[in-house]
Amino acid sequence: MTSANGEGATAALSSADSPVKLQEERYSPFVRVTLRQWSKWYLDGTETFWPFTDIAIRFFIGMWYLRSGLVKATDWDTAVLLATNDYPVSWMEPVTAATIGLGIELIGPILLIAGFMTRPAALAMATLTLISQAVYIPTTTNLIVSAMLIWYVFHGPGALSLDRVLASGLKTSALPLARPATLAWEWSRANLAPVVMALLRVWMGVTLLTYAGVIEPSVAVQTWLPTTIYSGFPDWLAVVFAVIFFIGIGATFVSYALFFLIAAFMIAGAHPNVTLFPFLFLGLYDAKGAGVFSIDRAILAWLERNILFDRNYADIPDRWPHVVVVGAGFGGLAAVAKLKRLPVKITLIDKRNYHLFQPLLYQIATATLNPADIATPIRSLFKGDGNVRVLKGEVQGIDAATKTLTYGDGQTLDYDRLVLATGATHSYFGRDEWGPFAPGLKTIEDGVAVRASILNAFEEAEASGDPERIERLLTFVIVGAGPTGVELAGAIAELAKVSVEREFRTIDPASARVILVQSGPRILPAFPEGLSEQATASLEKLGVEIRTGGRVTEIAEAHVRIGDDVTIETETVLWAAGVAASPAAKWLGAAADRAGRVEVNELMRVIGADGEPIPDIFAIGDTADSKAWDGNSVPGLAPAAKQAGAYVSEVVEAELLGKPCPGPFVYKHQGSLATIGRKSAVADFGAFKLSGAIAWWLWGLVHIGFLTGARNRVTVAVNWAWNFFAQHSGVRLITEKQV
């Protein structure tokens, strides 16, 4: 056994360690890994947060202009009067100037916020603001807003914009000038925008030196310097930041430092009428860096040449160890997310090309969500990581002696480290003949097929004139009352009694029977008894019939038998009673538990048939039988798989660098959640338990947070809101044959 201080784990690591390590080079492995991880964290963070920073900047600038435009539109006479007397444009008639200005202030903001024709809109708005700065009252806000808009003219909006969404389509379209314009925009973003950012950086440096009195430009020049941003700053501090801006170092740290300093001086009363726009400008500087001719750019170039190496897969040195991860579930993705920051080549293999959020698969089956809402192409998750290669293929075998695996049509792949995260499938407890009559939910194909089966039951009942068959068609049986079974039962009941209640003419969907069968004494057996009772009450309120204490003994095309004497006539049976692990144990000839899960030691290393750990092979998630939960088996939950994936990456890093082992894996239970229906759920966090509407909101927030990708989070939230308020499910499409 491993001692609590991890000494046994270190010994286990040494006994099973591999000779494959990071080779000595010009820079020590520790230095290279540290710099690489810092670089990847910085670059990944910038890439992650920039789309949201971009939206905030475009929104607030747009609203600032739009508010002015609406005021003028509601009082046109005053707008013309202002154009005539207060800020006349010498080369335009007042009415013409007012009309053009109003058009820019009304149309430009809408285009900017939507990210459509962003560059022309930004150019028009910047021109209007600069004219106002030149001929009307000069303000710091005008200068900062104009600076950001000029940068947008050259860079364009971020990923969450119509311009970026339409760019690839326009590039290949037949529209006149569409391709050259799109290519010009891309070239400008890559080559001119960094120059503009560098000029803005110098502009800020000059502003700080002017504020500190180091230089004294003419009054006309000072009109174009936003010195009031730094009101309250000591002169020496302004000079320090001016030097930092001039040399362009630490854009992120400089942005945060100025953000808090300006806020502090504002709170202290030393700052006059500060607005949001200086902070937005600092957010832009933080996200997009210092631009060209900066120390930051030189550091990044050095890292590219000496540390990163992975912008292109072909450029990765052959000396880098090869880590193969099988399975793109929660555990596999968590492992790759941390391993990719090491100087290693990674191959991620999955038999499908998407990552699926399985906890919400039942909502595909019950017509609440679309498949694309809970699935993300694997390649898109690692498109910015050149050292990660994604392969679509199904593994057939593993040769631990030669450290190769076979996949696809007999292709082989060598590995230095192997992580098995292959998940689980349905288990009918030796009665596989039930499969065709009682499908489970593990894949998108399963979800779409079950949805077709449920919806077809209503359609066929509407068309049938046989009362007995109608009753059989409108009887839905779910076998297994864990979280999946409970959620399915509640969702089907709501579908029948709410979503389609008034859509049929000869049948009453609300009369449908939903029967939840559990062999044990209560539903949700993994939850405390009190929460189980509350879940039972919520399901019964929805009209779900709960049958506990009876084991299913037969499933056929038109009936289910419970025990020896209870028969339920039904044509729709759904299986949520058990799972079996992937055949990883058979591939390796390794020890496994009754469910087929591979036995692992405290380091998540696979234990072979001889009882010894197999070098360089790890298993995580539903593939592994780990006793890391206070001596009990780790549950098959997404957080457990993610924790194991992150842990294994730490073990691999320790092995490759010769560092001390992180210690045995310890699963930290983050709670269990199950939703029952509209505004009802249960949540168990140990000493802290919730039920009802509060638990339902928490369940929704947690599941949205676990989804992969901003698009999926937004679409799921929108669909849930629509379904909740409209009480209507709009994904009732039958696209597969009935199961």
Q: What residue type is assigned to position 580 of the chain?
A: A
What the block records as the tokens of 727 is: 């009480």
Q: Which residue has the tokens 């098959």?
A: 636
- CA pair distance 559, 545, nearest whole angstrom: 16
Which DSSP category does 592 fall into? B
Is 459 an annotated catalytic residue?
A: no
Q: How far is CA 410 from CA 393, 395, 402, 407, 422, in A?
A: 10, 9, 16, 6, 19
- CA pair distance 469, 693, nearest whole angstrom: 37
What the block records as the tokens of 687 is: 């000493």
CA dihedral 682, 685, 690, 694 (to 10 degrees): -90
- CA pair distance 652, 51, nearest whole angstrom: 33
Q: Classify residue 262 by burial, with Cβ atoms within 10 Å: 0-12, 13-18, 19+.
A: buried
Q: How far is CA 74 from CA 36, 196, 214, in A?
A: 57, 37, 47
Q: Do residues 171 and 182 touch, judged by C-beta distance below 8 A?
A: yes
Backbone φ and ψ of 681, nearest 5°: -160, 170
Of the chain, the end-to-end C-alpha distance in Å amounts to: 48
Q: Which residue has the tokens 């994604």?
A: 390
Q: What residue type is assigned to position 595 of the chain?
A: A
Backbone φ and ψ of 579, nearest 5°: -135, 155
- CA pair distance 94, 100, nearest whole angstrom: 10
What the block records as the tokens of 126 is: 């910047």
DSSP-based three-state secondary structure for 454? helix
Question: What does the angle CA 339 – CA 344 – CA 350 come to, to the nearest 5 degrees?
Answer: 60
Q: How far is CA 632 from CA 325, 581, 626, 627, 629, in A?
A: 26, 18, 8, 5, 5
Q: Are strands 417-420 and 322-326 parallel, antiparallel or unpaired?
A: parallel
Helical residues (DSSP H) of 504-594, grouped into ranges: 529-541, 584-588
Q: How far is CA 118 from CA 58, 127, 195, 281, 532, in A?
A: 9, 14, 19, 18, 54
DSSP-based three-state secondary structure for 222? helix
Q: How far is CA 230 from CA 48, 217, 433, 482, 646, in A?
A: 29, 17, 75, 60, 43
DSSP-based three-state secondary structure for 293? coil
Q: Classify residue 51 by burial, with Cβ atoms within 10 Å: 0-12, 13-18, 19+.
A: middle
What the block records as the tokens of 328 is: 């793109």
CB-CB neighbours of 435 under 10 Å: 14
What the block records as the tokens of 2 is: 């491993």
Q: What residue type is assigned to position 489 of the chain?
A: A
Closest CA to 288 of 196, 168, 150: 196
Q: What residue type is assigned to position 429 of the chain?
A: F
Radius of gyration of the chain, Cα coordinates, nearest whole angstrom: 31
- CA pair distance 450, 492, nearest whole angstrom: 11
In order, the DSSP letters of 3-52 are -TTSHHHHHHHHHH--S--PPP-SS-HHHHHHHHHHHHHHHHHHHHHHHH
Q: Are strands 566-569 and 544-548 parallel, antiparallel or unpaired?
A: unpaired
> Which residues does residue 561 pair with via DSSP β-bridges, in sequence order?
554, 567
* Active-site annotation holder among 105, 487, 602, 653: 487
Catalytic residue list: 487
